[in-house]
Structure 1
Amino acid sequence: MTVQYGPEIHFDAITELFQNAGNEGRNFLYEYEVYNLLADSGAETPPKSILIPRGARPSEDELLALPGEKVVLKIASPTIIHKTEVGGVRIVAKDPNKIRSALRRMLYEVPENYAAWCQANPAAVPDSYRGLSGEALLAAISRDVVGVLMVQFMPPDSAAFGNELIVGLRNTREFGMVISAGLGGTDTELYAERFRKGQAIIAASCELIDGEHFFELFRKTISYKKLAGLTRGQRRIVSDEQLIECFSSFIEMGRRYSPVNPQAEFVIEEMEINPYAFTDFLMVPLDGMCRFSLPKKLGNTRPVVKIDTLLHPGKIGLVGVSATRKNFGRIILDNILAEGYPAENVVIIRDGVDEIEGVKCFPDLKSLPEKLDLFVVAIGADQVPELVDEVIALDAANSVMLIPGGMGENEESQERAAKVIAKIDAVHGTEDGGPVFLGANCMGVVSHPGNYDTWFIPEEKLPVSRNQPYRRAALVSQSGAFMLHRYSQCPELAPAYMVSMGNQTDLTLGDMLKYFKDSDEVDVIAVYAEGFSDLDGLEFCKAVRGAVLAGKEVLFYKAGRTPEGKTATSGHTASLAGDYMVCESCVRQAGAIVARSFTEFQDLFLLAETLGPKKIMGNRLAAVSGAGFEAVGMADSIQSDDFQMELASFSLQTQARLGALLKENRLDGLVTVKNPMDINPSANDGVHASIVEVLSQDGAVDAIVVGLDPLSPAVHSIMNSDVPAFELGADKGIVQLVAEVVKKSEVPIIGVVDGGRLYDPMRDALLERGVPVFPVCDRAVASVSLYIESRLYAERIRNGAGL
């Protein structure tokens, strides 16, 4: 029987709390109101409390109204968040005189302490106190003190480290409502910074997770292990059902009071309980805060269906093409034609010239005989606003590619960009929706299915193999340079589409992923992001989930993980970089493979392109090499903070087959059948291939990483060698034999060619035959481990597990 833990939430009562506060001119709830909210949330009942307003003279009966032998007194002020640091929390005996004494002392001492704190921490001072000092600052702080909240004292079961919980909701700019939970108390920030990733604090999108699945994430944290009594000397102090109920309540409130809920009366900007303590299997909130706002109108919906005309245009127009020199526009024209796009389907907006490179010119947009599918704009940024107005007014194109920068990357160009964005948003509100715009600050698009290339890089700088086979993949990059460098370094990736997003003036990363998740041309979508537009991170994650459910793979890299990185990315793309932990958590939970470095991005992209058809049954690895260090290095690389692989245990049948193979090749006296398997430098091409084939047929092996030992004298590994025994192109050489095994195998097989540039032809030959190959073994194992873990997670999503 399945038990449902979803709480009954009294939304009308919670909405009334927000309404009453709003009527008083507040966008926040006082602590006692937060406790009322929790009482209406259907989760744990908070402690009883009484607000004693500033200036009130409570009676003895009122002071003794709470149960227990002690009471907790808390200063009530919207500006004093960290109360403990300034003496704003005190536990006193439940004696009327002692309570009155503490009340009077707090009303004077806390403002004085907080004024001193503000002077010592000027960067953290609330906006309303900035510029104030001395008596003026003290008066302002005192004025904001509403009173003192008297709260029922509920002693925790344990005051030991890790026995407090923080749970919160936050409205993020990119991902909307996010729930977080983890180690609570005054050192929450320190825990999050010092513990391994995912051990102290976890976060997830409220739209993409429920309470039970969020609890499964929470089970992996040190916080859960402490609360559940799974560490030495601990005992369980809360039930799993209570935690699930709490998380479910927060997630449902996050969905209701969300910026993307059109029925939301209010939006929760931030709500936090820090900490929950635990008394006799009760979750007791010891402090709470909540800020809210009125919902804002969302922008008009972009007609993303027109992305198809952008990627597969029947008619292309260009503006900014020089008739006499190789400017950006002229290079783009050259590349379009070099890719094989018909010249008769291209037009140029250029007054006073009849044709350029056999392409007909027209003096202006009004002169065009028909509507364009794609209009490529390569003119100065100062001319863009007027041109955008004209394109929209004439309905001249279905899609527009804005190449120029100077459209929001810095303060000087933000006003120009804002005007363009407002104009585009307005036309999206019309029945047809107007054109879609890619860029600005866009390096262009390579669309092999669309038969065109609008990159402004000349072929002398980037040699291109035109009309070559391409893979069923798309590379979408916010940075054109990142995409360019990956392609230059790894031409073997060869995706069908390479799209430079630029500033996301109109089309966003989320829009592009929505398109490609439904594309019949693409199985793998790789994305480099520097920042998301407002709420587009959430749309992106929804599209990731949709792509995964459709059987596709999504690879993701997010730049701007450090304060310095955030500064750099915001200056480049005009998109603010968001909180990396939230971003990584949301995208990973949606089902994407998250890369940790540029190199890893390349490696995972290669694996996604080549291993897509292979079956991923588990995480048991077989490691093989003729170099002893390499075999050991593979074993050393199977675990990290981000993945956990196991060394496979070979079946008795596999052990017997391997033993016979070694004996046949006179290696039985040198090689022991085990995992990892050091097969000795004297193992020839056939031995390598045969061992891999045997291992691929063992049902207990889920993946194989094999060192192909290019420096071994027994291996054919050198192109155009004078020594026949070394010749790479020899019949039945290692490349040919291993490629045949890889082609037949349902198990992923990854090669390692650890050698200098002499062995680049060997790597190229393997890659051409569909064998993913790496230059060092630890890089291969780390990449395949991350890839396998992500594939297994994606399969759980498809099976409805959600995690």
Structure 2
Amino acid sequence: MNDLTSLMRPESVAVIGASNTPGKIGYAVVRNMMSSGYKGEIYPINPKETEIAGLKAYPTAIDVGKPIDVAVICVPAKATLSVAEDCGKAGVKFLIVITAGFKEVGKEGRELEEQLVEIARKYGMRIVGPNVLGIIDTHTPFNATFAKEMALEGNIAFISQSGALCIAILDWSLKNGLGFSQFVSMGNKADLNEADFIEAASHDEDTKVICLYLEDVVEGDRFIKVAREAIQRVPVVALKSGVSSAGAQAASSHTGALAGSDTAYSAAFRHAGILRATTMTQLFELANAFTTQPIPKGKRTAVVTNAGGLGIVATDAIELGGLEMARFSEDTIALLREKMPPMANIYNPVDVIGDAHYDRYEIALNAVLLDPNVDAVTVLLSPTAVLEVDKVAEVIVEANRKHPEKPIVAAFTGGFAVEQAVEYLKKHGVPIFAFPEEAVSTLIGMTEFAALSEATHNGEEWVFDDVNSERVREIFDSVREDGRDLLLSPEAAEVAECYKIPAAPSRLATSEDEAERHAVEMGFPVVMKISSPDIMHKTDIGGVKVGIESPEEVREAFRSI
């Protein structure tokens, strides 16, 4: 395990490129460090200044003459190599390289990034970034970013490949009252990557759930191994972008990421036990639920509502989403029959009907929570003129306190009439939504994670001994040496063969004689197609010939292609 304690909870931080000029990144980082309540030592580094923000400034990290755990680098890209050398000589443990202009901008930037990594390795330093917002740990507290505000204290570790997205989410979270334990911008991931930060967050006592925004994964095997271990302690939820061809191209220009096959990522996430979110909204709705509610023990869901229509919408969402409508025990049905008016529906969904006061919600909610056939509850509300909406919110919070073993989600469908109650539920940790489908979707996600976690815990690791991984590495190395990032058809077929994956046999022919020989060996009929890294749509140019039945046809097709 990589110990990132000195990174997330450092005793001393140097800000290289610190500034007294408002609007400069180095100005923002120093102010954020000071205003965050950080208790350690802060060393501004700027050869042109003697004092910054009331702190003594130093020409270089070497001149500090004291131990430095973290150096935050805010200088132009071309200056990073010399300051990294200084940091290495000063014994710095971690570099947070906020500076952009590395592999995300092309070949020259990639070479600069590789040189930076070489310097770090020479001195045993680890790198966050480059091209990052920075890092926040709210419980240290520690804010080494150039964001406008400090994150609220909470229990969500957010690990993102996009720094700009971090800024937007941070601002959004302040408005919505969502708190974080750790807030990490990974950028180009020249050194430390998602596996390192997942591992660190999973061992953090203040973290209850890990949220990921990923454009690619750089160490697949290690990523899966670390995630499988992490979910035994905390849920891991991921949003993987770059799933469309245009999105993948955007990811490459953003952080130099190679987005990869979405199908492969889906399979890897399932195997790792990672719950995959499809939207940013879903990512943080699930995160909030995991920090405030227990994980469901099963799929059986009860619904309590005062509006039949809302109950039907929720029932559809439950059934279509793979959950089950709970079948109440005889004791629960008898209790509801005794306490509810004749017009009420005492079966699932429980409809306390439109003239209900808060006490009917209290009776129904506690009854279904006590039922052994219920794993989770969804509470729905329409704000009628007779209903004490705020008291219903209080009833839900109290029921959640009395029954901490079962998750409760709620949907209060309304506007001004439910506003105060919604804030009360948020404040007391009950996931609250505007519509039933959103509430049910969160329960579906939590239940899916429970199944993933169980399968990962009980399942065996996927290990295959009869694969020729060495030959696959040789093929990939050859492709890279050619300056390509796509395999030719024969190469792809050979990779599949190395992994015992059934695929149509494929051979590369560079002459008519070679083509005829391969065709005879493989057996007719055969298909012939052009093999070129520059031609993606072969059929469009007549580069594919099918139904070839003889050596003569092979030669003719070769000449044509």
Q: TM-score, normalised by structure 2?
A: 0.77
| Residues 337/786 of structure 1: CA separation in 2 closer, same or farther (3 Å cut) | same
Deviations 1:424-477 (A, max 9, x none): 24653x6xx611111111011111122111231224xxxx57xx6x33331111
| CA RMSD, 1 decimal | 2.2
Deviations 1:30-53 (A, max 9, x none): xxxxxxxxxxxxxxxxxxxxxxxx
| Offset, 1:361 | 0.6
Confirm whether residue 555 of structure 1 aligns to residue 214 of structure 2.
Answer: no
| Offset, 1:750 | 0.5
Letter in 2 for 1:518: H
Deviations 1:244-271 (A, max 9, x none): xxxxxxxxxxxxxxxxxxxxxxxxxxxx
The answer (yes or no) to whether the contact 1:753–1:776 under 8 Å persists in 2 is: yes
SS at match of 1:637: helix
Structure 2 counterpart of 1:626, from 301, 306, 324 = 306
| Offset, 1:337 | 1.2
Alignment match, 1:410? 105
| Distance (whole Å) between structure 2 residues aligned to residue 735 and residue 766 of structure 1 | 6
Structure 2 counterpart of 1:515, from 174, 191, 200 = 200
Which segment is superposed worse, 781-790 or 311-320?
781-790
Confirm whether residue 444 of structure 1 aligns to residue 134 of structure 2.
Answer: yes
| Residues 755/385 of structure 1: CA separation in 2 closer, same or farther (3 Å cut) | farther
Letter in 1 for 2:17: G
Alignment match, 1:601? 283
Confirm whether residue 677 of structure 1 aligns to residue 356 of structure 2.
Answer: no
Alignment match, 2:491? none
Alignment match, 2:225? 542
| Residues 320/681 of structure 1: CA separation in 2 closer, same or farther (3 Å cut) | farther
Rg larger in structure: 1
The answer (yes or no) to whether the contact 2:22–2:28 under 8 Å persists in 1 is: no
| Distance (whole Å) between structure 1 residues aligned to residue 369 and residue 347 of structure 2 | 15
Letter in 1 for 2:98: I
| Offset, 1:495 | 1.6
Confirm whether residue 370 of structure 1 aligns to residue 66 of structure 2.
Answer: yes
Letter in 2 for 1:454: A
Structure 2 counterpart of 1:398, from 90, 93, 110 = 93
Alignment match, 1:157? none
Confirm whether residue 471 of structure 1 aligns to residue 151 of structure 2.
Answer: no
The answer (yes or no) to whether the contact 1:340–1:451 under 8 Å persists in 2 is: yes
Alignment match, 1:329? 26
Confirm whether residue 790 of structure 1 aligns to residue 449 of structure 2.
Answer: yes
Alignment match, 1:652? 330
Alignment match, 1:661? 339
The answer (yes or no) to whether the contact 1:335–1:453 under 8 Å persists in 2 is: yes
Deviations 1:186-229 (A, max 9, x none): xxxxxxxxxxxxxxxxxxxxxxxxxxxxxxxxxxxxxxxxxxxx
Letter in 1 for 2:350: M
What percentage of aligned pairs have identical amino acids? 25
| Offset, 1:308 | 1.5
Structure 2 counterpart of 1:570, from 245, 249, 252 = 252
Structure 2 counterpart of 1:781, from 431, 440, 444 = 440
Alignment match, 2:315? 635
Letter in 2 for 1:473: I
Alignment match, 1:177? none
The answer (yes or no) to whether the contact 2:242–2:259 under 8 Å persists in 1 is: yes
| Residues 636/487 of structure 1: CA separation in 2 closer, same or farther (3 Å cut) | farther
Alignment match, 2:360? 687
| Residues 768/440 of structure 1: CA separation in 2 closer, same or farther (3 Å cut) | same
SS at match of 2:99: coil
Deviations 1:732-770 (A, max 9, x none): x22222111111211111011222366444322212112
Alignment match, 2:504? none
| Distance (whole Å) between structure 1 residues aligned to residue 426 and residue 108 of structure 2 | 48
Q: TM-score, normalised by structure 1?
A: 0.55
| Distance (whole Å) between structure 1 residues aligned to residue 163 and residue 434 of structure 2 | 26
| Distance (whole Å) between structure 2 residues aligned to residue 756 and residue 507 of structure 1 | 45
| Residues 481/714 of structure 1: CA separation in 2 closer, same or farther (3 Å cut) | farther
Deviations 1:535-569 (A, max 9, x none): x12211111101123x3211111001111111111
| Residues 781/402 of structure 1: CA separation in 2 closer, same or farther (3 Å cut) | same
SS at match of 1:650: coil
| Residues 490/362 of structure 1: CA separation in 2 closer, same or farther (3 Å cut) | closer
| Offset, 1:800 | 4.6
The answer (yes or no) to whether the contact 2:43–2:58 under 8 Å persists in 1 is: yes
Confirm whether residue 749 of structure 1 aligns to residue 421 of structure 2.
Answer: no
| Residues 705/565 of structure 1: CA separation in 2 closer, same or farther (3 Å cut) | same
Alignment match, 1:713? 385
Deviations 1:710-752 (A, max 9, x none): x2223344xxxxxxxxxx4xxxx22222111111211111011
| Residues 594/482 of structure 1: CA separation in 2 closer, same or farther (3 Å cut) | same
Alignment match, 2:540? none
The answer (yes or no) to whether the contact 1:395–1:434 under 8 Å persists in 2 is: no
Map of 1:161-560 to 2, 5 A cutoff? 304-305=2-3, 307-342=4-39, 345-392=41-88, 394-411=89-106, 414-425=107-118, 427-428=120-121, 434-459=124-149, 470-491=153-174, 492-533=177-218, 536-549=219-232, 551-560=233-242
Letter in 1 for 2:374: V
Letter in 2 for 1:537: G
Alignment match, 1:736? 394
SS at match of 1:672: coil
| Offset, 1:678 | 2.5
The answer (yes or no) to whether the contact 2:120–2:126 under 8 Å persists in 1 is: no
Letter in 2 for 1:351: P
| Distance (whole Å) between structure 1 residues aligned to residue 17 and residue 412 of structure 2 | 47
The answer (yes or no) to whether the contact 1:541–1:590 under 8 Å persists in 2 is: yes
Deviations 1:75-122 (A, max 9, x none): xxxxxxxxxxxxxxxxxxxxxxxxxxxxxxxxxxxxxxxxxxxxxxxx
| Distance (whole Å) between structure 2 residues aligned to residue 563 and residue 477 of structure 1 | 21
| Offset, 1:590 | 1.2
SS at match of 1:502: coil
Letter in 2 for 1:673: I
The answer (yes or no) to whether the contact 1:517–1:543 under 8 Å persists in 2 is: no
- Structure with the higher helix share, 1 or 2: 2
| Distance (whole Å) between structure 2 residues aligned to residue 406 and residue 757 of structure 1 | 48
Q: Aligned pairs, how many?
A: 459
The answer (yes or no) to whether the contact 1:514–1:540 under 8 Å persists in 2 is: no
| Residues 714/379 of structure 1: CA separation in 2 closer, same or farther (3 Å cut) | farther
| Offset, 1:639 | 4.4
Which ranges of 4 or more aligned residues in structure 1 deviate by more than 4 Å? 800-803
**Structure 1 unpaired stretches of 5+:** 1-302, 663-667, 718-727
Letter in 2 for 1:441: N
Letter in 2 for 1:751: A
| Distance (whole Å) between structure 1 residues aligned to residue 358 and residue 186 of structure 2 | 46
| Residues 323/426 of structure 1: CA separation in 2 closer, same or farther (3 Å cut) | closer
Map of 1:86-97 to 2, 5 A cutoff? none
